[in-house]
Structure 1
């Protein structure tokens, strides 16, 4: 939050912070739990909840609060029929049917990769993925593609202070990760081999707009027992690149 910007509405920012907290905590939250999660004073959280309830975005049952379907209106513009998500969906479905594997489109949102479109074949990961899902960017194929497209200083700022291992394959050395991101930038694809979850391999490529700016990443996730890293590069990567080129052409100058 910026106190030096005269156009910055702190009350609006705080309300959005409270609303976003439900995405992490789930429904049935109290003022205390939301205050603890957001770091805002309880009185501020209580006033935000009162306003959100009065405007129909939050429901109240005693001391418990939950978001209401009205929040979906906030996503309507982003998910409109001319949005990147909508334009990507048929391309993802064609790619899924061609490869027989799940495909996803993601964008960078802070330190996370945010799934904005997905065509699923079967559940590979223990955690189900869907539009709106988030994963840490630094250890995902789409995240590494998007991080590699950033200037080094900006890229470094989006890496967590400590790289926590998710499996015994996770790369947690910052120097090695930096080297990998440089390779991704040079080779124009990223391959993750069971770093996020045992049994999961994924490969991703950038999606570029008409000015060659990276606006998203496209990936395919596979079962490590069924697909070697060599097969991913030889068979899946060319299909991914074709799909990314197709999406970039139809997306034009869509703002993600």
Structure 2
């Protein structure tokens, strides 16, 4: 039986569109919600959801749907395929052990910060974290270093609605552009309770051989233990590790 490739490709596109409509904010959706978000009519969406259920990529909960457990087996495969994660992990663990702080590695994905590795210490436990977690660029130190050379990304982000997570969250595009200009000049960024009350963070960029920022590393801790002054003492150490990792990525510095 011949397969209509155009029809198959169209179905795959629609199935991916359905999968992409789920998010941390909306982990469960009803059929009518999925249809409204994707623009796919309900009968077609229902048929595709049932097909995805057969492969455990979708789970049904009475009247709602969520992403299925079938995706979990891919997480380790994706993480193991990331060369930058493999190279950086020993450095993250060494830095975490030396400073008794949590150390994060993140990249830019779809104009958001996505965390791809973390080294944790029992001396600094706070909050909830998981690999693959996403955060906005405009209220995180990692976001600031990841876009400090690409203001066009900032302009795109601020075309959408931005949320004020704390009193310190930057919600004005011009203010943020001035902030990342400073980050670009000084070589590091700070997040002083901009994403989360009670958490301070500093971050530095990682460069590849072309001078492009490909990732960022950060250290963070609760304000009760790490005041602004205390955290700033670690800036030279963080930049040193960022430079060492950039060198591993082929950077010759001088950017």
TM-score normalised according to structure 2 size: 0.82
Q: 2:152 and 2:61 mapped to 1: Cα distance?
A: 46
The higher-RCO structure (CA 8 Å, 6+ apart) is 1
Question: Quick one: which of 235, 238, 253 aligns to 1:237?
Answer: 235
| RMSD, aligned CA | 2.6
CA contact (8 A) 1:218 1:244 kept: yes
Q: Which residue in the other structure is 1:157 paired with?
A: 156
C-alpha distance in 1 between matches for 2:230 and 2:118 = 22
Which sits farther off after the overlay, 45-54 or 65-74?
65-74
Name the residue aligned to 2:79.
79
Report the CA distance shift for 1:245/1:11 in structure 2 as closer, same or farther (over 3 A).
Answer: farther
**Helix, strand or coil: the match of 2:235?**
helix
Task: Find the residue that maps to 2:171 and give its secondary structure.
Answer: coil
> CA 1:40–1:187 in 2, change beyond 3 Å: closer, same or farther?
farther
**Aligned residue runs from structure 1 range 1-256, under 5 A:** 9-24=9-24, 25-26=26-27, 29-60=29-60, 63-80=63-80, 83-121=83-121, 122-125=124-127, 128-150=128-150, 152-234=151-233, 236-252=234-250
Cα distance change of structure 1 residues 55 and 93 upon mapping to structure 2, 3 Å threshold: same
- The Cα shift of 1:15 comes to 1.7
CA contact (8 A) 2:55 2:70 kept: no
Pick closer, same or farther for the CA change 1:97–1:23 going to 2, 3 Å.
same
Q: Compare CA radii of gyration and give the structure with the larger one.
A: 2
Deviation at 1:210, TM superposition (A): 2.4
Query: 51-60 vs 90-99, which deviates more?
Result: 51-60
Could you list the runs of 5+ residues in structure 2 that have no partner in the other structure? 1-5
8 Å contact kept, 1:81–1:87: no
Stretch deviating more after TM superposition (205-214 or 72-81): 72-81
Change (3 A) 1:35 1:93: farther
Would you say the 8 A contact 1:77–1:83 is kept in 2? no
Range 140-149 or range 67-76, more displaced: 67-76
TM-score by length of 1: 0.81
CA distance in 1, matches of 2:162, 2:134: 17
Q: Identify if the C-alpha distance between structure 1 residues 74 and 38 changes in structure 2 by more than 3 Å, giving closer, same or farther.
A: farther
Instruction: For residues 5-57 of structure 1, give each alpha carbon's deviation from its aligned partner in whole angstroms, at most 9, with x where no partner exists.
Output: x9xx5533332232233443335x43234334545432342232122123342
Given the superposition, is the C-alpha separation of residues 82 and 18 from structure 1 closer, same or farther in structure 2, using an over 3 Å criterion?
Answer: closer
Between the two proteins, the alignment pairs up a number of residues equal to: 241
For residues 21 and 208 of structure 2, the distance between their equivalents in structure 1, rounded to whole angstroms, comes to 32
Query: C-alpha displacement at 1:120, in angstroms?
Result: 2.3
Tell me by how many angstroms 1:161 deviates. Answer: 3.5
- Shift in Å at residue 143 of structure 1? 0.4
